[in-house]
Every structure is written in structure tokens, then in C-alpha cells.
Structure 1
Amino acid sequence: MGVGGHFWDLLKPNARHEGPDFLRNKRIAVDLSFWIVQHETAIKTYVRKPHLRITFFRTINLYSKELLELFGMPVVKAKGEAEALCAQLNSEGYVDACITADSDAFLFGAKCVIKSVRPNSKEPFECYHMSDIEAGLGLKRKHLVGISLLVGNDHDLKGVPGIGLDTALRFVQNFTEDEILDRMLYCAGIVPYKIEDDTPCRLHEIGNGDTPLFQGGIKSLDDCTPGSDESSQKIRCSHCSFCGHPGSKRAHFKSSCQYCTTSNGERCVKKADGFRCDCSACDMGRKEKEQKKQENWRTKVCSKIAMESNFPNAEIIEMYLCDNHSCFSGTFVYIPTDGPCISWGSPKTEMLVDFLACHKLWEPSYIRRMILPMLSTIFLREMATNRGKTLLYGQYEFDSVLRVKIRNGRQFYVVKWRKAVTALSRAMCTIPSRELDMQQDVVEFDESPDLLEEPDGPKIHVDEGSCYLVTDENMDLVRAAYPEKVERFLHEKELKESKRRKSSSLRSEGTRETSKSTESRGVQLSITEFFRSSKVQVVVKPGEDLTQIPDGQSKEKRERPTQNLSKSVRRRLLFD
């Protein structure tokens, strides 16, 4: 949930619609709580023994933690909210964005929040940047905390009764970021430093039933309204009913006023519909009305806030502004050139195989085949940055780029990994070299939307005594790791396309010459030359009577040639 009052609708005009490429080469912190709640809501099963269920899922969580550590991923335990830890990682630069459906991630300090991501989907997702919110709404982190206190949040669902999101937004925009929370925290005894000026703290003062002073463009009523002496001297001047400017109609009838400019200068111009006089007296009157309206609105809001006890809640404010939601020293590393980053170690392959074989009862060969795409991606990343490692999994080396494949609207390179062997007892699939050459120019489409289907592992085939693995890899990653291999593939592809264009042009020229020779005859073809007759002619032997031929046999002979033709073709053939 996060902040109440349809808070996402307030932020939606400032959202950026990004595609899957936005996540490429980025570190993302994922809040799994929303996905877990969706899963449990979809199941809707009655739990007979909840204590066994809790024990089961806690055990699964322990196994999941061990599994992630075997993959080389860092595992961090949050002290409280998951989105709070994700926001802390984002604000401190460990990750580039957070994936969470809780809007209070901004209150915890997140800079970039992705609301939801649908796997295997081409639709763009909503991405929110704190800089866009500040530019579009003029709200900073502490402003958002103030809104959550007024409309409600996960820790105070009701908020202040009678105050909605629009009212809260309008209210907090009257304060600077320091005034709305810092002075409130000082009055609550949380902030250790002292505020030098004597201006009373804002929300704390409202909670005690006092009316706040507004800074900036909105001042108190006494500052904006004229004094008693000034109001006594102010005389309401009359306005012309014809042109609407100061003065009498009789005076303007004789000659035009100074505000009206006419060609002959005899009479004023009739005022238009919705006319507003811009004289000083009218302008002052409008300001006074607007000030009274604003003051009445502030009084109503302050009276609603004053009715709430323990407002503002200092514990909620301290929780949102806290920057220590977990202790992850040693889990991450700091690179002087790039700053803090996640240290993703190499997977412990053999221990991972033993773990899955023990707990999932999978075959070791199947496990190695399923984790190989992940190992190949990690290998290509290492090759793009460091050329020290040459073999994938200590056995396979990069051979060539086979073709281009499109999956979910994105292009991938199909890469061949080679392992030289003298003899191979068996192979899953054998692809001749001639067929491989034909497949290099084929763009394969894989748009399977079935999420329950098992992901495809690497395909294995044998060619000329060598074992090949075929995997789908990111095009930019392959280009960065093996630029010469990619250039060779593109060059060969360009040569084949040029040969294909030449052959197609020759065929088109031959077809054009044939059509010209047909047109050069200058003879109009008959309908029988366009539509050849396929009727079966019954040959009668000498001495054989037509009446002796059975009807079924003659009908069969007539219908057999045309039984596979369409009705329209058979109708045309009847005219021959």
C-alpha cells in the first residue's frame, strides 16, 4: 500500500514509460512482498494447520537464502520493511532502481522506483524518478512524509479524518522542506540541534490547536490586509457601467476615459463579457477576497488537524527518515572509480549441483544444462572487462555467432560454444554443417507467452567430432566481449545478402523478358488457353456401346479429376 489516498494517481503524470532495455546493465533491488501477496491471494486455500505452514515457509526461506548464496548473490536481511531497505540501497548508490508497489519507498529515500514489471511482456512499465516529482509537483522527501501523516500510511491508516490527498498536497506546498518536518522534530525532542529563529514549529503547533504562520508567497491576514487608517481613507470609486473603468457614465459620454482608446476620441468602448477592471482599488478588493478565502480554508484544515491527538507521530517520522534499515558491511564493496556497488561473486557450481540434486532430486546433467546460460552471461561480462579467462566452465570456448533470434520483441545472438573431443558416445541433436550454413541467415522468432513452460536450456549438437552448445546471448554483451567474431558474422551475412539480391535480380529480369515475349506476340489468348480444361474424356472402344457403360463408372470418371478443385474453378471449367 504505502501512502493512502490514491497516492500513485498523484504521481502518475510524472511517470516515465520505459521498456525492457531500461533494465539492461543495471542493478535492481526487488521488493518480493508484493509478488508474494499476489501469489497467496491467487491461491485462496484454507490452511488447516497454520503452524506447520509457517514452519514450512520459514524453512523454504532458509533454503532460498542458501541457494542464492551458492549462486554468488549477496543476501541482506532487512530490519523492518523490505521497501525501506531497497530505498536505502538506491539512495546510497548500491543499486540503480527499486521494483516495489509500495509508494512509501520515496519516503524512505528512494530515487528511482519501478512500480511493476511483467516478465515476458512487451508493454512499457512505469518508472518514477524523484527528480521528476520535485520538478513537477514541487515536493521533496519531507513533503511526502507530511502528506503521509495527513492522508494515512501503513503505520497510521486513518491519518487525519476529513483531509484528502488534494487538501494535503495544497497544505504541504505552503511550507519549505525544513519547516514542515525539521521544526516539528525539534519540538518533539528528536532533532538534537536548535533552530536559531523564533518561528514556531508548524505541524506541531497545528496539533496543539494553534494557527500556523505561512511563509513565502502566502502571509498572514494581518500582513496582507490594509491597516485601519488606510481602510478609513479608502473611498469606493464609482465605475462606468458602459466601459467598466473608473468614472461616471455621464462623464464618459462626453469624452472617452484614459483607459479607452478610440479613433475619434468621442465615446468609450463597450466592455466585453467577463470584463475585469485592473485599477488599484479593484485589484486590492480581489486580493482581500482571495486572502479571506484562503484564510477560511486554512482555518478549517487546522481545526481538523487540531482535533487529532498525538499529531504528528514522531515515531513514524523517525522511521521514514532513518537511513539504517540493515547492516550490510562486508556484503558490498566500494570501488573508488564507480562508488559503492554490489559484489556479485562467482557461482559455486559443484556445490550448487549437489544442493539441487539433494533438495530437488534433479539429475546433475540437467542442472548443469539449466545453469549454463547464466554461466555464459557471467563469462561474457568477465570477458568484456577482463581478458584473462578464456574457457566457459573450464571446458567450452567461444566459436562463432550462428544467427539472430528475436524473443519478446528483443534481438539476441545465437552463440556456438565449442568443445573438442575425440569421440562422443551420444548427442542430443546432430546438425550437419550444410544446415548450419543455411540457418545463419535465418532470424528466429520465439514469442511463446506461456509462463508455466520450462525455459529452454542450451541446445547441444555434434559436428565434425566437436561438441557444440548453442545459447542465446545479449547482442551488446557479445559485441563487447568478442568484437572480431561479431564483425566476421556481419561480414558473412552481408556477403550472403548481396548474393541473394543478385540472384533475385536475375530471376526478376528473366521473368520480365518472358512477359515481354508474351506481349510481343500481339495475339489475344482465348479463354481455353487461360483455363485449361481438365475434364476426362471417355474413350469408347470399337464395338462398345455407350449405353453399356455403367452410370457409376462414368460418373466416377467425370468427378475424379475435379474433386480436389474449388467450386469456382469447377464452374469456370463447365464453360469449356
Structure 2
Amino acid sequence: MGVAGNFWDLLKPYARNKGVDFLRNKRVAVDLSFWIVQHEAAIRHKTPRIRSPHLRTTFFRTVSLFSKMGAFPVFVVDGESSPLKAQARIERFFCNSGVDPSALPKAAEGEEAPVKQRNQAFTRCVQECVELLELLGMPVLRACGEAEALCAQLNSEGHVDACITADSDAFLFGAKCVIKCLRSNCKEPFECYYISDVEAGLGLKRKQMVAVALLVGNDYDLHGVSGFGVDTAVRFVKLFSEDEILTRLCEVGKGVFAFSEGSISLAMDSHVPISNEVSPSARSQHCSHCGHPGSKKAHQKTACEYCILNGSENCMEKPTGFKCLCSTCDKDRKTKEQKKYENWQIKMCKMIAAEQNFPNNAIIELYLSSNHGNYDEKDAHLLWDKPKVETLVEFLNYHQHWEPSYIRQRMFPMLTTIYLREVASNPNEGLLLHSQYEFHSIQRLKVRYGHPYYLIKWKKAIQSTVMYDVSGEQSESEEMESMGANGSNDMLDEPDVPLILTDNGCCFLLTDENMELVQAAFPKEVDRYLGGKEIKGIQIKRKKIQFKIWQK
């Protein structure tokens, strides 16, 4: 999806691996289709043991992203596809079916091309995920067209700090930071790409990347220009600056690429110097034995100056692959290289000019547009609400057949994160977690995948309906669900489940919480814990000293 070819491989050297707290307290736009498509095969070929993998994926990843990673996700869904995308979708469908798209009947002039929208099953999956997200209190935006376009616009305008999508088109739509890979249960779960790194390392800016997409193919034109791969397209595009590249492509597409002053023939690679000197009509005489300037007959009498410099009294025989480094030969090589490069430019221009109606201005307008959706920070579009727990339990119980206790357990990390943020903002409110639990103490420091957390004890404050079935065991189907729809946990699939602790007849719930968030919410408790830890350390040192004295 996105720019055709191996465009992601081109960007790979500029990827950054970020730690667990990279998105903490930051907004991030999520391309919802990206999550669902990853499990599309499982959706089509699901077994009775795996129910609604799209809902399971969306639920667990949202809870993890919000609680474990501390992010504020904004979910974006696709709007109606443009006619260009619809036509490309039809071509892709027939190509995957083994049918040649060129053999299909085309719409007559003036008629609209048939529209191939997402299949009904996928649309239903998206609708169910949107309903789930709204019950979780997450903001959901609908793009005018492509979801990654609105994600990129939100990022470009500063409404979010990053985009989560695997569609490389996001850069062409103006994204500044794209998270392509999320790896669960590792020290650096985020693989992200900054446009500033790509521009500095690859030397391509936004309009130049649009030009690359036009040449190699994209979601709106699968074919691009015949003969252009990613490397060739990048090499050609870098002949021009960002400001002129699209204009020059239009000129070349019309066949305007005469070699005159100011034309593309004057824009060479940095390693191919441009010489204004006229190449000599004939190469000066060189010795056939040593290859240096001069005649063989003269060198038989006296060794040439080049051979003498190498410590030889006689003229040496030239080795295999010998290249003379004299000024005449050097100029001759540079002239040939320049001519070869000019011929390559002419060849590329002719290939572009051979394409009908290239470039497609409608595709350029789509990429450079800044109107991909309607939203307003002042209304509910970019606001986060508390999850509707009981409605959510009913929803997942109906769709997933999960037990209510199982659902509440998996939701608990989200509820504790919301609670700690509220207490940090309003320390004197005397709030209870989910109107049932209160903060008890810090059990200990816990390090998970190289990142430290506080293990927090939560105590039931009032008697009410039991939120968790402590003695209940997870059914076999639920265990399968918690492993992942396809047995994979390469993304944020693994939920944090609260531990059960019984102490002096009291039952506590234990959760891993961000240390800074706990410090902001309960600074006195943190000071008490650190103070007790320091005292304990002193006592251990005293015991060690006393033991050494006793040994003496």
C-alpha cells in the first residue's frame, strides 16, 4: 500500500527505534484500516475458536496504547474512495484474480468508471470497531477519502505528534512522523520515521516523493511509467529541486526536454562533473606496452617518466585493467561519462513522454491537498471520554462471548491510567477508581523489558458487585483469544492483566503503572515508599557490618 516498489526499503536506513515512553502524553493518529487489514485473512478464514479478530485486535491494542504506552490515540477511518482509487482497486482485484485488466471493457468517454468499494464484510468490521472505540471513549474521525491522508494532515498541522500507519503515502500527504511498526514486549517497541531524517539522508522532499510515486506507481495508478523502479526514479527526480520537479515532469510528459541552456542536461549528479571544455578530436599517442603518453619506440630507448616514478629503469608492461591517469585521458573519460549520463537522461525522458496523459494532475492534487476531513479541537472530535464500562461489557460479551469478569480485567489498566491522570489534575477530590477501589500503596519497583514501573496495590473501598471473578479460570477459547487472532503478538496485542494478592485476609489488585504518573498523583506515597526503601537499605548494610564483626 502506498508508493509502489520497495519504497519502505529505501526509507529503512532512516528508521528510529523509540522506547516505551515515546508516545506518553502525546496524541497519535491511528489509521484504523491498518489494524484491521493485518487480520483480514483471519477474518475471511476464521475458525470457531477465533471470533471477530478485528474487535479483539482493536480492543487490546487500544487499551495497551492508552495505558501501557500512555498515548492519546485519535482513530481515523476511510471515507469514500476517489474515482482514481476505485479504478485502481478494480485493477488490483482482477490482477490478483489472474485476469488481465487491459482485456476488460472500459467505460465510454463521458461515462464514469465503475466503483469498486470495500467489500461488505470489511465495511461491517470497520463499523463494529468504530462502535467499540466510541464505547472506549476514543475520538473517531472520518476522512473525506483516505484515512492516512487525514492522519498526515493532523500531524502536519500539529494536532497529533505522530501517525500510526503502514501506508507510505502518509509522507506524500505531509506527515512529519510515521510509526510503521509496533512491537509488543520489547525494549524499543516503536519503529518510526521522521520526514526530516528522510530529507537529510535520502535528499528527497515531499514534492519529490510525489514525483517518485508518479513514476513507479501508487494507490491511484498501479503502473506508473514503464521501466522505472524506485532507485531509477529517485535518481531521476533528484535532477530537479522540489520547487520545479512537478513542473518539469509535466514538460517532459509533453515531450519538452530539448538539450539547451537551463534544460535537464545541465543538472548532473554531483560525482559527474560538467566540463565546458571541448573534448579533443583525437587522443594523444600512448605507448602500447606501458599505456602511458608517448610512443613505444621512444620508451624502448628511455623509460617514460611515469614508469621511472614507480622505481623502474625500463618501461613496464601495463597490468590488466590499466587506466592512464594523464590529463588527456582524464578529460576523455569525463567527457564520455557526461555523454553517457546525458544519453541516460534522454532515455528516461523518452520513456516518460511515451506515457499517455502523464503526469495525472488529479493524483498530484490529491497528494498536495490540505482538506482531507473536518474536525475541530473545540468540539468532541478530538476529546477523550471515559469508557462506558457496562455497555462495553455487554458489547464484547455479545460479539466475543467473553465473560464479564474477563472483560473488566482487561480494561482495568485503562481505568487506572484515567484515574491517576484525574488525581494528578485534582489531588483534593478524593476520587475512587471506578467508584470502587482506592490507592493503597506501592508494592515494589518492577522492571519490564528494561523499563521501570511501580507495582501498585489497589484496595476495594466499598462493597458492591464484584468486579473480578478471582477464583474463575479462563476458558480455553478465551486463552486462544488472549494469544491473538493468529497466534501473533508482534504488536500491542498482549494486555496487562491485574494480579491478585491476598494479604491478612484482604484482597488487593496489583497493576504496573508509570512512575512519573504515580509521582504526580500520589507524591507523598512515593516519598514514603522511597524513604522506607532507603531505611531498609541502611538496615541491610548494618546487618552486613555486624556479621563481619561477629566473624572476626
Query: After superposition, where does 1:41-440 map in structure 2 within 5 Å?
Result: 41-45=41-45, 61=126, 64-121=129-186, 124-181=189-246, 183=247, 202-211=248-257, 213-214=263-264, 217-218=267-268, 234-241=281-288, 244-251=291-298, 262=309, 274-330=321-377, 343-347=382-386, 351-354=388-391, 356-357=393-394, 360=397, 371-384=411-424, 387=427, 389-393=429-433, 396-407=437-448, 410-418=451-459
Q: Match for 1:4: what amino acid? A: A
Deviation at 1:255, TM superposition (A): 5.9
Deviation at 1:316, TM superposition (A): 0.7
Contact 1:420-1:467 within 8 A present in 2 as well: no
SS at match of 1:2: coil
Deviation at 1:36, TM superposition (A): 1.6
The CA distance in 1 between the partners of 2:179 and 2:41, in whole Å, is: 22
Contact 1:428-1:461 within 8 A present in 2 as well: no
Match of 1:13 in 2: 13
SS at match of 1:76: strand
The CA distance in 2 between the partners of 1:121 and 1:325, in whole Å, is: 35
1:249–1:380 Cα change, 3 Å: same
Contact 2:498-2:509 within 8 A present in 1 as well: no
Which among 480, 483, 491 is matched to residue 531 of structure 2? 491
The CA distance in 2 between the partners of 1:35 and 1:426, in whole Å, is: 33
The CA distance in 2 between the partners of 1:54 and 1:240, in whole Å, is: 74
Deviation at 1:148, TM superposition (A): 1.1
Q: Match for 1:204: what amino acid? A: C
SS at match of 1:106: helix
Match of 2:110 in 1: none
SS at match of 2:193: strand
The CA distance in 1 between the partners of 2:123 and 2:532, in whole Å, is: 55
Deviation at 1:252, TM superposition (A): 5.2
The CA distance in 2 between the partners of 1:28 and 1:141, in whole Å, is: 21
1:55–1:353 Cα change, 3 Å: farther
1:263–1:302 Cα change, 3 Å: closer
The CA distance in 1 between the partners of 2:43 and 2:395, in whole Å, is: 28
1:153–1:55 Cα change, 3 Å: closer
Contact 2:423-2:431 within 8 A present in 1 as well: no
The CA distance in 2 between the partners of 1:385 and 1:302, in whole Å, is: 62
SS at match of 1:5: coil
Q: Match for 1:308: what amino acid? A: E
Q: Match for 1:150: what amino acid? A: L
Percent of pairs identical after alignment?
A: 52
1:374–1:43 Cα change, 3 Å: closer
Structure 1 residues 306-361: Cα deviation after superposition (integer angstroms, max 9, x where no partner)? 2211100111111111111111124579xxxxxxxx954441x6x54346447746
1:34–1:357 Cα change, 3 Å: closer
Contact 1:427-1:460 within 8 A present in 2 as well: no
Contact 1:245-1:259 within 8 A present in 2 as well: yes
1:108–1:420 Cα change, 3 Å: closer
Match of 1:475 in 2: 515
1:63–1:154 Cα change, 3 Å: closer
Deviation at 1:401, TM superposition (A): 0.7
1:166–1:226 Cα change, 3 Å: same
Which consecutive unaligned segments of at least 5 residues does structure 2 have? 47-117, 471-480, 486-493
The CA distance in 1 between the partners of 2:376 and 2:134, in whole Å, is: 16
Please, what TM-score do these two structures have when normalized by structure 2? 0.68
Q: Match for 1:456: what amino acid? A: V
SS at match of 1:4: coil
Match of 1:558 in 2: none
Match of 1:3 in 2: 3
1:494–1:85 Cα change, 3 Å: same
Please, what TM-score do these two structures have when normalized by structure 1? 0.66
The CA distance in 2 between the partners of 1:482 and 1:503, in whole Å, is: 32
1:404–1:278 Cα change, 3 Å: same
The CA distance in 2 between the partners of 1:389 and 1:164, in whole Å, is: 62
The CA distance in 1 between the partners of 2:212 and 2:184, in whole Å, is: 33
Q: Which has the higher contact order (CA 8 A, sep 6+)?
A: 2
Larger radius of gyration: 1
1:268–1:62 Cα change, 3 Å: closer
1:44–1:121 Cα change, 3 Å: farther
Q: Match for 1:403: what amino acid? A: R
Contact 2:375-2:382 within 8 A present in 1 as well: no
1:255–1:290 Cα change, 3 Å: same
Q: Match for 1:110: what amino acid? A: A
Structure 1 residues 52-73: Cα deviation after superposition (integer angstroms, max 9, x where no partner)? x977876675565455345443
Deviation at 1:283, TM superposition (A): 2.0
| Count of residue correspondences | 453
Q: Match for 1:381: what amino acid? A: R
Deviation at 1:4, TM superposition (A): 1.1
484-493 or 354-363, larger mean C-alpha shift: 354-363
Contact 2:148-2:167 within 8 A present in 1 as well: yes
Two-structure CA RMSD over aligned residues (Å): 4.3
Match of 1:189 in 2: none
252-261 or 115-124, larger mean C-alpha shift: 252-261
The CA distance in 2 between the partners of 1:487 and 1:269, in whole Å, is: 83
Contact 1:262-1:268 within 8 A present in 2 as well: no
Which consecutive unaligned segments of at least 5 residues does structure 1 have? 47-52, 184-201, 334-341, 431-447, 514-576
Match of 2:483 in 1: 450
